[in-house]
Amino acid sequence: MKKNVLITGASRGIGAACARTFARAGYDLYLCAQRSLEPLLQFQKELPSAYGISCHVSLCDVSSYEAVRALFADIPSLDILINNAGISHIGLLQDMSPAEWERLMSVNVSSCFYTAKCAIPLMLAQGHGRILNVSSVWGGVGASMETAYSASKGAVNAFTRALAKELAPSNIQVNAAAFGLIDTDMNQHLSESELRSLIQEIPADRIGSCEEAAALLFQLAHAPAYLTGQIVTMDGGWT
């Protein structure tokens, strides 16, 4: 029987690269994004014919429990959940509004709770499962001007470690990938000089690709079952 994977934030960046990577390996896909349906529809047209898989797409605001619950109503079974959806906020904490804080925490942290809450019963029913959370190196060391984002990813890391302990007896592994500087839209605010300055700090002397990030997530999805509760860093030696 084919395995399937749900990828949130799948319309671009790491999520889109994951969709291609898992489709290439023969996984049936459930893909969602908050606003960008057109890229998902393109995946739905291209990936099944290229790899002989099924591809279900939908718009879903993962910061809403009702929206996530409606998404899962159309998912009868699930092998892998990839919590990739996320947003950032650049600026001084004192200038951030409470509404901006709450929105970021809802998208980056609460969404992991909502999707896991819905996915766990499906995984328990089949006796196995993998939950993979996309984190950041800032969740471990923090970043100036990105206090809220750093706090949210620190929460994702703690959520990952704790849930892994809770689910380990049920053969459900929970891990996170903490990425450094990856070539995603989230980093498009950086000027050329800022980007050059950051790259100079990275021993690998370059920015990482979304395909490399997807490859790590794929490896975590197929790692030995004894690997759980881990925050695996991929940052070119940066931190």
Identify the active-site residue in 27, 30, 114, 149.
Answer: 149
Closest CA to 231 of 149, 183, 163: 163
Active site residue 149: yes
Q: What phi, psi does 87 have (nearest 5°)?
A: -130, 160
115 Rama sector, left if φ>0, alpha if ψ -120 to 50, beta otherwise: alpha
Q: 68-85 burial string, b = 16+ CB within 10 Å, else e?
A: beebbeeeeebbbbbbbb
Answer for the pair 32, 71: CB distance below 8 angstroms, yes or no. Answer: yes
Q: How many CB atoms lie within 10 A of CB 192?
A: 7
**In whole angstroms, how far apart are CA 10 and each of 55, 57, 122, 173, 200?**
12, 9, 21, 22, 30
**In whole angstroms, how far apart are CA 163 and each of 65, 113, 116, 176, 191?**
18, 10, 9, 11, 38
Pairing of β 231-234 and β 172-179? parallel
Residues recognised as catalytic: 149
